[in-house]
Amino acid sequence: MRQFIKFLKQKTYLFVAIMTLILSLIFAGGTLLFFNIQNDIDLTSLGFIYLGNYSTDEYDSVLSENIASWKTSSEYTIFFQEYELEINLTYFYFDLEQTLLSITKNTENVAYFSLTMENQIALENDLIDQFSETTIAQINFDAFLLDLNQDMMNLSRIKTYDLRDYLDEYFALSVINEIEVTQINEEDINEITQAVSSIVIFANQRFSLLNELLSYDLSNEQMSIIASGIQELTLQTNFTEFNFLEYLEMPEWASLGKNVRILEMNQFDFSFYNPLEEDFLIVIEQKDDLTLTFQLKGFPYITTFTISSELVTVTPFHTIVLNNDLIDEFTPLVTITETDTEYVYSLLVQSGVNGNVTSIYRTSINLFGEEIISKLYDCQIASVNEIYYENIVLKGSD
């Protein structure tokens, strides 16, 4: 019995070995056959257009039909700031003859296009209409056409271009706006100019003055001066979401729309959001012993901005009368009121000024004349009390 089992095992091993050899030969043969078949497949293409199923005589009609369809379905856009232009691909003539001459079998080929001077001018005019003549005057048009042509040669379907990539680098340092903050004491001017000469407003980020000046040893007053200058400087921009607190009794250097109070310990900050894809630079310089200038530099805005204000409410001042026995008819500027029983001597010490709440609005006017009015924030000015000294003397009391 054992001999039988041993014999059966030997036969089984032999059978398995034979079958393994047969399967290996079949696999090897199949692989060779597959690659031979593959070598016979025509892999010629032009971008996404497969030409392997067609004879060379058919290339003409196949390419003309597919390129026409590609032009209408593809999206090539260029953007700058909040403006965008879809490039008209029909301006570009498909050079079928050159494309056919350059086709190599079993490779991915490229298409050739040409642009007449007339159509180039039309494309330039489209750019001017969408992005302004001032902006397009700074473009490297040859570099833009080179990138555009390369993508068209590969028959890319969707492409987006940033106009900034083709603008003169010095155009990004244009002075967009300039303001002054004056009546600053000399010590504060020296401290500010020694610590800060420029501030970057980064693209697509919220700017925070406290974060920006964290490493500088500046007083709250000095940071408030910087914040107030930036506040006025950025009124005519597309910066949004302003967040700050004001001095209720404005310092001498402050005014409406130029009044921010910074308190580092209390986290009284000045912040706003830059929604554009580009950075801006704020340059701070001393003009004279009392004045700082603030410049905003960057790519000039295509959209124009105007600022307006609307009085919301008036806060009347209060009159305070303080007794002062020292004033009499000999006091300069005294006002004397006589009644049947007394003399009233009054001296104006401080004139009263009404306070108010004023809303600041920005009107954005795009290149096509469309206007959008948005409220930026409310400004509050505290009233100033009117103060009199008064001395009442009864008749006959002398």
Residue-wise burial string across 333-346, b where 16 or more C-beta atoms lie within 10 A, e elsewhere: eeeeeeeeeebebb
Residue ranges for the chain with pLDDT beneath 70: 1-40, 397-398
- Classify residue 202 by burial, with Cβ atoms within 10 Å: 0-12, 13-18, 19+: exposed
Predicted structure pTM score: 0.79
Domain chopping of the chain, boundaries: 1-41, 45-167, 171-301, 303-398
The pLDDT score that the predictor gives to residue 248 is 85
pLDDT in tens, 309-319: 999 999 999 99
Task: Collect all residues with Cβ–Cβ distance below 8 Å to 279 and sequence separation of at least 6.
Answer: 200, 201, 202, 203, 298
The pLDDT score that the predictor gives to residue 1 is 46
> What kind of architecture, by CATH, is found in domain 303-398?
Single Sheet (2.20)
The pLDDT score that the predictor gives to residue 42 is 83
The pLDDT score that the predictor gives to residue 15 is 53
Phi, psi of 191 (to 5 degrees): -65, -45
Length of the chain: 398
Task: Collect all residues with Cβ–Cβ distance below 8 Å to 397 and sequence separation of at least 6.
Answer: none
